[in-house]
Amino acid sequence: MDNLMHFDFRGLVVIMMSAILVNNYVLQKFLGICSFLGVSKKLDQATGMSFAVIFVMLLATAVTWPIQYYLLNPNGLEYMQTVVFILVIAALVQLLEIIMKKYVPALHAALGVYLPLITTNCAVLGVAILNINNQYDFLASMVNSFGSGLGYFLAMVLFSGVRSRMEGGETPKSFEGLPITLIAASIVSISFFGFAGVINNLFA
Amino acid sequence: MEAIVFAVVAVTVIGIICAVLLAFASNVMAVKEDERFPAIRECLPGANCGACGYAGCDGYARALLTGDVKTNLCVPGADGAAQKLSALMGVACEDVQEQVAFMQCSGDCNATSSKMDYHGIESCTAAKLLFGGAGKCSFGCLGFGDCVKTCPYGALSIQNGIAHVNTRLCVGCGLCTTVCPNHLLVTLPDVVKVHVGCSNTEKGAVTRKACTSGCIACRKCEKECPVGAIKVENNLARIDYDICTGCGHCAEVCVAGCISAGDFSGASHVVKAG
């Protein structure tokens, strides 16, 4: 019973919800914009990319958290964080691709194109580094990564809906293509600022 | 000093661990590629032009392996490639419709002139951005040879201020059609015997002022064509190649001389004949 008391379930929910809504990686922190604009054209591609991101975020956190606390911190190598994390995440994604190609070809065919994109996705690196900066423990880090991934998923799905509506609309010639996409993205981002106080008041 | 050495060693060790893991994984879990793939890829010319509708020659080869894809889609490879591919895949060979590029502008330096002195970047795309190009005709060839630089077969050249297609060298990959800012180059089946060398859709008098080789939409070709294959639409003569018999009469009667007739068979035909 005493053990359960220490298990801060409410804290985890707060981390999760704020990662999805308030600190949305794409719409509030502006990380992972490249894939956000690149792959949000169609809903199925957007969901495929999002699942790949969720998966890699979880995996990256599971590997980088121990590296930070058991290798970098004890040896005073905190300043090598970025280099080591990039190295490990890149190798990890590559490994994942090889494994998937062999054992789950269907999933590889679905995600295959997006996996290399994630290798250099700043949202993944951002989650890994911010978990450390926020001094989360391992469980909280994993929950935060999952929430961030879901936030990315939410942003992608919402925005692919916005984009499909834009395709039907008549865009002025000078705004066609990327300009109108960026404007739409900024409006979606502004709408997410409405969530700013939600968590504090919900879980106060 | 010690700190640096330790950091270097630590990162190197992590890198080596990752490398060994990856090398091991890629060996153990290597997925066997279809052994026909290299052979199929060998048949394709490697121009990566995308004329087949797939992302490069590798993409087409992979699509062929999955079946359900015709073997006669490679235009640059022509009949030769189609025959080899069909033999490899064990399907009946279908004839490839060879294509060649056609230039829809004949406004060379004798026919038209500049409206300004352009000293900008030596590229058609850049020149086009500045008031539609330096030439009097904004539909015409800009003459900086963006297409010449793109052509992997050396079939294009700039002669007397405009691009020319040497159809004997052209394999019809269509790479040039994508770079021309005025979309003057088009690919057509190389059995075509006549084509219209103008893209100007202005009214006759306006066209005439800009270029003496331009189509003035006089409709003479339309009236003279024995099978009614030419129509003047939007102030420009257009040939319906489904009807055209290639008699070349339109080229004889054209006042502006913008319709040309001849044998435009491309590189693949020449090779076959030789």
Residue ranges making up the domain that contains B84: 43-89
**In chain B, how many domains are there?**
2
Residues A168, A171: Cα–Cα separation, whole Å: 9
B30 lies in some domain: no
Answer yes or no: do B116 and B246 share one domain. yes
Mean pLDDT value across residues A159-164: 90
Residue A148 has pLDDT above 90, yes or no: yes
**B188-231 tens-digit pLDDT:** 888 888 989 999 998 988 999 899 889 999 998 999 899 989 99
* B7–A99 C-beta distance less than 8 A: no
Write out chain A residues lying below 8 Å of B11, CB-based: 80, 83-84, 87
Residue A3 has pLDDT above 90, yes or no: no
Residue B84 has pLDDT above 90, yes or no: no
* pLDDT at residue number A113: 66
Instruction: Report the percentage of chain B scoring pLDDT > 70.
Output: 97
Q: What is the mean pLDDT of chain A?
A: 84
Answer yes or no: do B194 and B66 share one domain. no
Nearest CB to A88 within list B7, B18, B26 = B18
Which three-class secondary structure string do you get for B98-113? CEEEEECCCCCCCCEC
Task: Check which CATH number belongs to the domain holding B69 and give it.
Answer: 1.10.15
Mean pLDDT value across residues A101-110: 76
Answer yes or no: do B202 and B269 share one domain. yes
Cα–Cα distances in angstroms (integers) from residue B100 to residues A156, B157, B190, B196, in the given order? 43, 15, 5, 14
B119 lies in some domain: yes
B29 lies in some domain: no
Phi, psi of B238 (to 5 degrees): -130, 135
Task: Check which CATH number belongs to the domain holding B162 and give it.
Answer: 3.30.70.20
Phi-psi category of residue B99: left, alpha or beta, with phi > 0 → left and psi -120 to 50 → alpha? beta
Residue B271 has pLDDT above 80, yes or no: no
Residue B273 pLDDT class (50, 70, 90 cuts): very low
B17 lies in some domain: no
Residue B232 has pLDDT above 80, yes or no: yes
CA A121 centroid distance within chain: 9
Q: Give how far B167 is from chain A: nearest CA, Å.
A: 36
Answer yes or no: do B114 and B80 share one domain. no
Answer yes or no: do B79 and B192 share one domain. no
Q: Please count the other Cβ atoms lying within 10 Å of the Cβ belonging to residue B269.
A: 19
Residues B248, B230: Cα–Cα separation, whole Å: 12
Answer yes or no: do B112 and B164 share one domain. yes
Mean pLDDT value across residues B34-49: 79
Q: Give how far B5 is from chain A: nearest CA, Å.
A: 11
* B22–A71 C-beta distance less than 8 A: no
B10 lies in some domain: no
Answer yes or no: do B85 and B109 share one domain. no
Choose from B4, B9, B13, B21 for mutation: most chain A CBs within 10 A.
B21
* ipTM value for the complex: 0.71
* pLDDT at residue number B270: 61
* pLDDT at residue number B274: 39
Q: In the listed set B54, B89, B124, which residue is the last one of a domain according to the structure?
A: B89
Burial class (CB in 10 A: 0-12, 13-18, 19+), A150: buried
pTM comes to 0.57
Write out chain B residues lying below 8 Å of A80, CB-based: 7, 10-11
CB of B216 closer than 8 Å to CB of B257: no
Answer yes or no: do B57 and B138 share one domain. no
Which pair of tokens denotes residue B193? 């015997």
Residue A140 pLDDT class (50, 70, 90 cuts): very high
Mean pLDDT value across residues A49-68: 89
More confident residue, A113 or A192: A192
Residue of B nearest to A76 (CA): B3
Which pair of tokens denotes residue A183? 């404007």
More confident residue, B225 or A113: B225
Mean pLDDT value across residues B241-261: 88
Q: In the listed set B89, B120, B154, which residue is the last one of a domain according to the structure?
A: B89
Mean pLDDT value across residues A169-173: 85
Mean pLDDT value across residues A67-71: 90
Residue A111 pLDDT class (50, 70, 90 cuts): low
Residue B91 has pLDDT above 80, yes or no: no
Nearest Cα to Cα of residue B271 among B158, B163, B153: B153
* pLDDT at residue number A66: 92
Mean pLDDT value across residues B27-33: 76
Residues A53, A55: Cα–Cα separation, whole Å: 5
Write out chain A residues lying below 8 Å of B30, CB-based: 102
What lies within 8 Å, CB to CB, of A176 at 6+ separation is: none
Answer yes or no: do B127 and B199 share one domain. yes
* B11–A84 C-beta distance less than 8 A: yes
* A80–B10 C-beta distance less than 8 A: yes
Q: What is the mean pLDDT of chain B?
A: 85
CB of B206 closer than 8 Å to CB of B259: no
Answer yes or no: do B69 and B161 share one domain. no
Q: In the listed set B32, B65, B89, which residue is the last one of a domain according to the structure?
A: B89
Mean pLDDT value across residues A125-141: 91
Answer yes or no: do B67 and B121 share one domain. no
B5 lies in some domain: no
Residue A158 pLDDT class (50, 70, 90 cuts): very high
Answer yes or no: do B55 and B180 share one domain. no
B183 lies in some domain: yes
**B114-164 tens-digit pLDDT:** 888 888 888 999 999 888 888 889 899 999 999 999 888 889 999 988 999
Residue A154 has pLDDT above 90, yes or no: yes
* pLDDT at residue number A132: 92
More confident residue, B55 or B253: B253
Residue A88 has pLDDT above 80, yes or no: yes
B16 lies in some domain: no
- Taking the alpha carbons at both ends of chain A, their separation in whole angstroms is 25
